Amino acid sequence: MEWKGIGAAPGFAMGPAFLLQRDEVKVERRSLSREEAGTESKRFDEKVAVAIVELERIRENAKQKLGEQEAEIFSAHILVLQDPEYIGAVKEKIQTEQVNAEAALQEVTDSFVELFESMENEYMRERAADIRDVSNRVMQRLAGISETSMDDFAEPVVLLAHDLTPSDTAQLDREKVAGFATDIGGRTSHSAIMARSMEIPAVVGLREITAHLKTGDYLILDGQSGIVLVNPQPEVIREYRQKADQYAAQQAEYKKLKDEPSLTADGLQVELAANIGNPQDAVGAVRNGAEGVGLYRTEFLYMGRDTLPTEEEQFEAYKAVAETFGKDHPIVIRSLDIGGDKELPYLDLQKELNPFLGYRAIRLCLDRSDIFKTQLRAILRASVYGNIKLMYPMIASLQELRAANRVLEEVKQELKRDKISFREKMEVGMMIEVPAAAIIADQLAKEVDFFSIGTNDLIQYTMAVDRMNEKISYLYQPFNPAVLRLIKTVIDAAHREGKWAGMCGEMAGNKTAIPILLGMGLDEFSMSASSILPARALLRKLNKPDMQSLAETVLQMDAAEEIKRYVEREVPAVKE
């Protein structure tokens, strides 16, 4: 069987499927006879015992991989299952009310959770989540869903999930996950972007693959074409092994360009930078020949945890990235861009109908200046360790830009007062990802040091197409004339003010887009680490004047498909 989705991160993954299940069990209340209630209570005891054994195993694993402290959470979970008040209350309910274990467990859990959540003490409130978590585990065992672990497989698995949040993706274990496939998502969903940084082959937007496959099915995943093959014949496996070998050989060829400059055929130098999400990615970026960081998505520092990162933690992370690259390489740190598909549960933000149009990024930072200032302090402090630049996301008006700069100025004054050093001349730029900003780029260019075009959002807002929605992904068109014209407007506006213009949306690493962008005069291309060397190989075959006339021609065309076909015909190297 063959499934076709959206190729999200290139490469081939082959291995057993591992279906990530996190559906809650539907509980029905059933009355029992006195005798049945006795057996039910024993059944409950057995499942609790199974859950404890599982948790002990998870705790051991966590201790080895993450350390003693991180493993403690599982000790707390085990204690919940050994708590006579909690477990005793469930058993008593089974006996006295003569009900099934699932119903008794749910009712007792609900009352415990309610009690803990109403407590003043934050520590106790957090225990409510532990109880919920642990009861889900027991509930699954009662429902006959056994826990298969990735550890049960000798080889790395292909992970199948309805969706993976960015923080799920960040926590994937490269040794155990050969690739992943999801029902929903698009090429610019953040889990797809992260897969490219982490160099994990991935296919997204497969619609309902998880409803049809099961753990243990053998899969071949092609992250380039977006194809997933299920239980293929041996000859097909052989064919794909060959393809994977060819891919590896091509990657090895690219690696030879790692320390070469990013020059066009006529000797023009452009900058090829990486998009990163954490200091670890910076190491991968250097390995892939990045000349700097064009986008550090700092929000990942805030995710997968229960509290905001401190100034010190942030400072250490920013400094680590600067040190990985060395003093001269530019590191563009973007201030917090939370919202959209990047959630922070501990901020307790209201659910919104249109999160991509909502309370996110700079809007949240200007409202929560406590969070914003802590981050700006950390960035400024790190600025003495490298060529760090600050960039604001989602700016839609001059007023927002000025407001952000006012907060920055306040933070600078505070640091001066405290005699803490920072680089006074740190460049400050902004992303162009809202069409309004692109249209007034001439005004904005006067008040920034640089622009970086965020096409992931710019396309979604220009075309009014949700970047996460696979049903309308046909409208998500980087080559749409409207998008290309906006990009040109932005680059020209920057240049007229003597400023540089970069691009950190995924389009910057798209081989068919690169000739057009070069022709339009883009100065910096920032992309997933894995796209850098293929982009460098392509640039070496391009000639600036030719690309300028190519860009002029495509700007007069009226359809995305026509533009793509034209570039592919004129510049065959984009298909290599």
Please name every residue paired with 502 in a beta bridge, in sequence order, or none if there are none.
Answer: 452, 524
Of 77, 329, 365, 504, the active-site residue reads: 504
CB of 33 to ligand PEP, least distance (A): 59
User: Interaction with ligand PEP in 494-533: which residues (CB under 6 A)?
Assistant: 504-505
User: If phi over 0 gives left and psi between -120 and 50 gives alpha, with beta otherwise, what is residue 519?
Assistant: alpha
Give kind and range of the element (H or E) at residue 405: helix 398-417
User: Pairing mode, if any, of strands 157-161 and 202-204?
Assistant: unpaired
- CA nearest neighbour of 524 among 361, 389, 335, 327: 389
Q: What does 386 bind: ligand PEP, Mg ion, none (CB cut-off 5 to 8 Å by kind)?
A: none
Q: Which DSSP string corresponds to 6-26?
A: EEEE-SEEEEEEEE---PPPP
Which of 297, 319, 499, 536 is the binder for ligand PEP (CB under 6 A)?
297
CB of 512 to ligand PEP, least distance (A): 17
Q: Is 166 in the site for ligand PEP (CB under 6 A)?
A: no
Size of the site for ligand PEP (CB under 6 A): 10
Query: What's the rounded Cα separation, in Å, for the pair 429 and 499?
Result: 10
User: Interaction with ligand PEP in 398-457: which residues (CB under 6 A)?
Assistant: 433, 454-457
Q: What does 517 bind: ligand PEP, Mg ion, none (CB cut-off 5 to 8 Å by kind)?
A: none
Confirm if 309 and 375 have CB atoms less than 8 A apart: no
CB of 139 to Mg ion, least distance (A): 38
Query: What's the rounded Cα separation, in Å, for the pair 381 and 414?
Result: 12
- What string marks each residue from 394 to 433 as x (binds Mg ion by CB under 5 A) or -? ---------------------------------------x
Q: Is 278 in the site for ligand PEP (CB under 6 A)?
A: no
Q: What does 297 bind: Mg ion, ligand PEP, none (CB cut-off 5 to 8 Å by kind)?
A: ligand PEP
Of 162, 190, 329, 365, the active-site residue reads: 190
**Amino acid letter, 83:** D
- Looking at the Cβ atoms of 168 and 337, the one nearer to ligand PEP is 337
Residue 351 has what DSSP assignment?
P
CB of 457 to Mg ion, least distance (A): 4
CB of 5 to ligand PEP, least distance (A): 20
Token couple for 473: 């992904």
CB of 199 to ligand PEP, least distance (A): 18
Q: Is 271 in the site for ligand PEP (CB under 6 A)?
A: no
- Looking at the Cβ atoms of 456 and 473, the one nearer to ligand PEP is 456
Q: Is 295 in the site for ligand PEP (CB under 6 A)?
A: yes
Residue 31 has what DSSP assignment?
B
Confirm if 458 and 483 have CB atoms less than 8 A apart: yes
Could you tell me which residues come within 8 angstroms of residue 186 by beta carbon, excluding any fewer than 6 positions away? 6, 192, 204, 205, 467, 468, 469, 470, 473, 476
User: Pairing mode, if any, of strands 450-453 and 428-432?
Assistant: parallel
Identify which range of 83-91, 452-460, 473-481, 567-575 contacts Mg ion by CB under 5 A: 452-460
Which of 10, 185, 435, 454 is the binder for Mg ion (CB under 5 A)?
454
- Looking at the Cβ atoms of 62 and 276, the one nearer to ligand PEP is 276
CB of 559 to Mg ion, least distance (A): 26
CB of 368 to ligand PEP, least distance (A): 19
Could you tell me which residues come within 8 angstroms of residue 399 by beta carbon, excluding any fewer than 6 positions away? none
User: If phi over 0 gives left and psi between -120 and 50 gives alpha, with beta otherwise, what is residue 257?
Assistant: alpha
Q: Which DSSP string corresponds to 151-180?
A: GG-SS-EEEEES---HHHHHT--TTTEEEE
Confirm if 179 and 201 have CB atoms less than 8 A apart: yes
Q: Active-site residue 365, yes or no? A: no
Q: Active-site residue 190, yes or no? A: yes
Q: What does 10 bind: Mg ion, ligand PEP, none (CB cut-off 5 to 8 Å by kind)?
A: none
Q: What does 374 bind: Mg ion, ligand PEP, none (CB cut-off 5 to 8 Å by kind)?
A: none
Identify which range of 1-9, 372-380, 437-445, 453-461 contacts Mg ion by CB under 5 A: 453-461
What residue number has its CB nearest to ligand PEP?
Answer: 454
Query: What's the rounded Cα separation, in Å, for the pair 436 and 454?
Result: 13
Q: What does 505 bind: Mg ion, ligand PEP, none (CB cut-off 5 to 8 Å by kind)?
A: ligand PEP
- Looking at the Cβ atoms of 433 and 449, the one nearer to Mg ion is 433
- Looking at the Cβ atoms of 183 and 299, the one nearer to ligand PEP is 299
Token couple for 451: 């622009």
CB of 393 to ligand PEP, least distance (A): 7
Q: Is 457 in the site for Mg ion (CB under 5 A)?
A: yes
Q: What does 434 bind: Mg ion, ligand PEP, none (CB cut-off 5 to 8 Å by kind)?
A: none
Q: What does 466 bind: ligand PEP, Mg ion, none (CB cut-off 5 to 8 Å by kind)?
A: none
Phi then psi for 108, rounded to 5 degrees?
-65, -40
User: Interaction with ligand PEP in 331-370: which residues (CB under 6 A)?
Assistant: 337
Token couple for 406: 């006012």
- Looking at the Cβ atoms of 91 and 297, the one nearer to ligand PEP is 297
Mutual orientation of helices 234-255 and 529-539 as an angle, nearest 10°?
A: 70
Q: Which DSSP string corresponds to 75-131?
A: HHHHHHHT-HHHHHHHHHHHHHHTB-HHHHHHHHHHHHHHHHHT-S-HHHHHHHHHH
- Residues forming contacts to ligand PEP in the complex (CB under 6 A) are 295, 297, 337, 433, 454-457, 504-505
Catalytically annotated residues = 190, 504
- Residues forming contacts to Mg ion in the complex (CB under 5 A) are 433, 454, 457
